[in-house]
A and B are shown apart, each in its own frame.
Chain A
Amino acid sequence: MEAINILTSKAAPLPLPNIDTDQIIPKQFLKRIERTGYGEFLFYDWRRIQEGPDSGQPNPEFVLNKHHHHGAKILIAEKNFGCGSSREHAAWAIHQYGFRAVIAPSFADIFFSNAGKNGLILAVLTDDEVATLLDRCTKDPEHKITINLEAQSVTDDIGFNAHFDIDPFRKYCLLNGLDDIGLTLRQAHAIDHFESHHDKDFWSAPKAATA
């Protein structure tokens, strides 16, 4: 996982609540067995015209198709972003498209966890703060926002300054680009010790009858 700290970029506003992972990366792309190559399928259906003679063509109204928003590394959305399916492909698609952070008033649990394991900063701001940023980035697609992970702040050049909370361990892993499995394996002795007595609790073994 790549380390991340300070990010300054224009942002793509997606002013909708409850954006689910089925929209972020539709099911047909979940059949692939690779971990890469999902960026081009991000918001696949929303990026295309759904009906009529132009069906399947790029939808010029969708934010990611607007020229001015190309190159944005920050996505801004409303509450409960990433709800629904646990597919990590959603975090992969957002990251591989080029985003490095998502700002929203709240995130769904599993998406939140997946994003952290892929170097994405998720900044939780208040409804009002998010509304301000959505407004500024909609009116001026070139409007730049700075996220400082170390300082836990989101700022812009015209006075916006908000603080976001983040679990210290999650912050540490993001700042250092750390692999979770390696960190847990520092506890290998504790796992061995735990199993030495837990395995005797046959009622919590999946295959008790065959043990």
Chain B
Amino acid sequence: MTAPRTLFEKVWNHHIVAEPKGEPTILYIDLHLVHEVTSPQAFDGLRMAGRKIRRPDRHIATVDHNVPTTSAQDRLHIVDQVSAAQVNALRTNCAEFGVEFFDVQDASQGIVHMIGPELGATKPGMTIVCGDSHTSTHGAFGALAFGIGTSEVEHVMATQTLPQSKPKTFRITVDGDLPFGVTAKDIILHIIGQIGTDGATGYAVEYAGSAIRALSMEGRMTICNMSIEAGARAGMIAPDETTYAYLKGRRFSPKGAAWDEAVAHWKTLPTEEGAVFDRELHIDAATITPTVSWGTSPGMVTSIEGKVPSIDDAKSEADKKSYARALEYMGLKPGTPISDIKVDAVFLGSCTNARIEDLRAAAKVVKGHHIATTVRAMVVPGSQAVKRQAESEGLDAVFKTAGFEWREPGCSMCLGMNPDILAPGERCASTSNRNFEGRQGRGGRTHLVSPEMAAAAAITGHFTDIRKWKRTEGASR
């Protein structure tokens, strides 16, 4: 009899290549996702050392961070020459090293964390890495997935492994029914608000409980995506029927008898009864409300019913300094009701919230309304697949009629590496993941919210409690 094991331990143990004495474990990597920003120096490193990519079949590449979202034409002829050179470098590097590449015009292009699941490349029990911190997204499938730096990108290319020290385990259980108008985004913002942006540093988090089980794959990806915002090495959710239903029939999913065998294997992965975690946290879903970030760190959040805090609300001296700096940067007065804060821009997009379910939910709020005259708003679908699906459902027309711009897929204003940025002082309701200073453009002020809350803010011009909106408007999810 072996001791009951966690999902994380099973996936970890299954990928141990070697455990050299006194050194980190050599962990095998099943899938390496590659994008234009963090890879060029790694490819150069391989060339300089005369190395090849050990397993090109375990690599997938696309362009997302830099590409313009304005039109298909603008993407093929990028005006910014530095961006164009970086995109071209990935093109030539993938051709030279034999990596499958989904270019800007490809039907499968999209944000790297969108296309892994959409292609069925992301699967339960895998180890997945990418030179991007939001790689934690793929943990929604019961994979061990984490972001890495460029030296590690080169390491995976050369060896298909990474030396890794084993993280501790942390289970966050969210039980109960989510209240009306409360989404996966609100769950994860609430969690980060509770434990802080370093609350899970050194841990692989498993999200469990009935509220997590009830979520779609899209919602689970939103939660795992922001694990890194709590400092976690990875976020995971055990695979179940929802997971298998999502994966079945996808391009890189097993077919026929192999599918049944794969599912049988995946069913052995979930954490066993009695398994021990290094840390546990329980949250009652009923206590979560629509959540809005007010500051410059994803832990600085409050309820839509709340107010901008004062420096005295900070728990430590270090936090007091952060609060003071954040309040000044955000141009907010303590005590201001969140619902009184006016927005200039609304961004619906990013690897956190640009999936079809997110766009459907936002479109439901928007339908029959027009954005406030003081607001500019854009929808940036996370992938070509999401864009096509949304257009086939007429969602693009709903958004365009309401005054939103309907864009091409990419990371866009989540980090503003392409031309989509905020002007200094501009205030944005954003469905993305980071509200750091200057993240969406120098001097820009970001408030993180769910897609429904972003949509409502676009229409009223200020943060609006979606629960009241839904009652008065009769729309519901």
- A residues near B (Cβ < 8 Å) are 15-18, 20, 22-23, 26-28, 30-35, 45, 50-51, 78-80, 83-89, 91, 106, 108-110, 113-114, 117-118, 127, 167-169, 180-181, 183-185, 187, 190-191, 194-195, 198, 201-210
Q: 8 nearest interchain CB pairs?
A: A88-B149, A114-B149, A33-B40, A203-B262, A117-B151, A86-B147, A80-B198, A86-B133
Tell me if B104 is interfacial: C-beta within 8 Å of chain A.
no
Which segment, of B121-129, B277-285, B395-403, B454-462, faces chain A?
Answer: B121-129
Tell me if B61 is interfacial: C-beta within 8 Å of chain A.
no
Tell me if B75 is interfacial: C-beta within 8 Å of chain A.
no
A190 in contact with B26 (CB, 8 Å): yes
CB within 8 A of A109: which of B60, B131, B233? Answer: B233
A209 in contact with B251 (CB, 8 Å): yes
Tell me if B150 is interfacial: C-beta within 8 Å of chain A.
yes
Closest to A207 in B: B252
Q: Hey, which chain B residues are within 8 Å of A88, CB to CB?
A: 38, 41, 131, 149-151
Q: Hey, which chain A residues are within 8 Å of B197, CB to CB?
A: 18, 80, 83
Q: Tell me how many residue pairs across A and B have CB atoms closer than 8 Å.
A: 226
**Cα of A39 to Cα of B109 in the assembled complex, Å:** 33
**Cα of A203 to Cα of B125 in the assembled complex, Å:** 8
A31 in contact with B86 (CB, 8 Å): yes
B159 in contact with A204 (CB, 8 Å): no
Give 1 or 0 for each of B64-77: 1 = CB within 8 Å of chain A CB. Answer: 01100000000000
B252 in contact with A106 (CB, 8 Å): no
**Cα of A190 to Cα of B60 in the assembled complex, Å:** 24
**Cα of A204 to Cα of B442 in the assembled complex, Å:** 42
Closest to B266 in A: A203
Q: Hey, which chain A residues are within 8 Å of B297, CB to CB?
A: 18, 20
Question: Given A17-B319, A209-B253, do A204 and B415 touch, yes or no (CB 8 Å)?
Answer: no
Give 1 or 0 for each of B22-43: 1 = CB within 8 Å of chain A CB. Answer: 1110101011000001101100
Q: Hey, which chain A residues are within 8 Å of B41, CB to CB?
A: 33-35, 88
How distant is B34 from chain A, measured CB to nearest CB, in Å? 12
Instruction: Specify which of B37, B45, B251 lies most central, judged by the most chain A CB atoms within 10 Å of its CB.
Output: B37
Question: Given A18-B322, A28-B417, A110-B147, do A185 and B158 touch, yes or no (CB 8 Å)?
Answer: yes
Interfacial residues of chain B within 415-444, with CB under 8 A of chain A in the complex:
415-417, 424, 434, 436-439, 442-443
Instruction: Given contact pairs A17-B319, A180-B155, A194-B18, enumerate 7 new A-B contacts (beta carbons under 8 Å).
Output: A86-B148, A86-B149, A194-B28, A198-B28, A203-B123, A204-B126, A209-B254
Question: Given A31-B83, A183-B163, do A207 and B38 touch, yes or no (CB 8 Å)?
Answer: no
**Cα of A87 to Cα of B36 in the assembled complex, Å:** 12
Question: Given A18-B198, A87-B149, do A169 and B17 touch, yes or no (CB 8 Å)?
Answer: no
Q: Hey, which chain A residues are within 8 Å of B165, CB to CB?
A: 167
Question: Given A26-B438, A208-B253, do A191 and B149 touch, yes or no (CB 8 Å)?
Answer: no
How distant is A13 from chain B, measured CB to nearest CB, in Å? 13
Question: Given A181-B49, A204-B126, A209-B251, do A109 and B82 touch, yes or no (CB 8 Å)?
Answer: no
CB within 8 A of A118: which of B66, B151, B154? Answer: B151
A181 in contact with B154 (CB, 8 Å): yes
Interfacial residues of chain B within 102-154, with CB under 8 A of chain A in the complex:
120-121, 123-127, 131-133, 135, 146-152, 154
B24 in contact with A169 (CB, 8 Å): yes
How distant is B352 from chain A, measured CB to nearest CB, in Å? 14
CB within 8 A of B121: which of A113, A194, A206? Answer: A206
Instruction: Specify which of A30, A51, A181 lies most central, judged by the most chain B CB atoms within 10 Å of its CB.
Output: A181
Instruction: Specify which of B146, B158, B197, B233 lies most central, judged by the most chain A CB atoms within 10 Å of its CB.
Output: B197
- B residues near A (Cβ < 8 Å) are 14-15, 17-18, 20, 22-24, 26, 28, 30-31, 37-38, 40-41, 44-45, 49, 51, 54-55, 57-58, 60, 65-66, 80, 82-83, 85-86, 89, 120-121, 123-127, 131-133, 135, 146-152, 154-155, 158-161, 163, 165, 197-198, 201-202, 228, 231, 233, 251-255, 258, 261-262, 265-266, 297, 318-319, 321-322, 325, 415-417, 424, 434, 436-439, 442-443
B159 in contact with A184 (CB, 8 Å): yes
Q: List 9 A-B contacts (CB under 8 A).
A: A17-B318, A27-B417, A33-B40, A51-B424, A80-B197, A87-B38, A91-B149, A169-B24, A208-B254
B125 in contact with A17 (CB, 8 Å): no
Q: Hey, which chain A residues are within 8 Å of B126, CB to CB?
A: 204, 206
Q: Hey, which chain A residues are within 8 Å of B321, CB to CB?
A: 15-17
How distant is A164 from chain B, measured CB to nearest CB, in Å? 16
Q: Hey, which chain A residues are within 8 Å of B23, CB to CB?
A: 169, 183
CB within 8 A of A210: which of B83, B131, B252? Answer: B252
Instruction: Specify which of A27, A89, A208 lies most central, judged by the most chain B CB atoms within 10 Å of its CB.
Output: A27
Q: Hey, which chain B residues are within 8 Å of A31, CB to CB?
A: 37, 66, 80, 82-83, 85-86, 417
**Cα of A50 to Cα of B329 in the assembled complex, Å:** 11
A207 in contact with B57 (CB, 8 Å): yes
**Cα of A6 to Cα of B89 in the assembled complex, Å:** 39
**Cα of A75 to Cα of B432 in the assembled complex, Å:** 31
Question: Given A79-B198, A204-B125, do A45 and B442 touch, yes or no (CB 8 Å)?
Answer: yes
B161 in contact with A117 (CB, 8 Å): no
How distant is A131 from chain B, measured CB to nearest CB, in Å? 9
How distant is B293 from chain A, measured CB to nearest CB, in Å? 13
A191 in contact with B416 (CB, 8 Å): no
Q: Hey, which chain A residues are within 8 Å of B254, CB to CB?
A: 202-203, 208-209
B436 in contact with A110 (CB, 8 Å): no
A84 in contact with B133 (CB, 8 Å): yes
**Cα of A32 to Cα of B371 in the assembled complex, Å:** 37
Q: Hey, which chain A residues are within 8 Å of B132, CB to CB?
A: 85-86
CB within 8 A of B149: which of A45, A80, A117, A183? Answer: A117
A181 in contact with B147 (CB, 8 Å): no
How distant is A2 from chain B, measured CB to nearest CB, in Å? 14
**Cα of A166 to Cα of B120 in the assembled complex, Å:** 39
**Cα of A33 to Cα of B91 in the assembled complex, Å:** 13
Q: Hey, which chain B residues are within 8 Å of A195, CB to CB?
A: 28, 55, 160
Q: Hey, which chain A residues are within 8 Å of B51, CB to CB?
A: 181
Question: Given A23-B437, A27-B416, A87-B149, do A204 and B123 touch, yes or no (CB 8 Å)?
Answer: yes
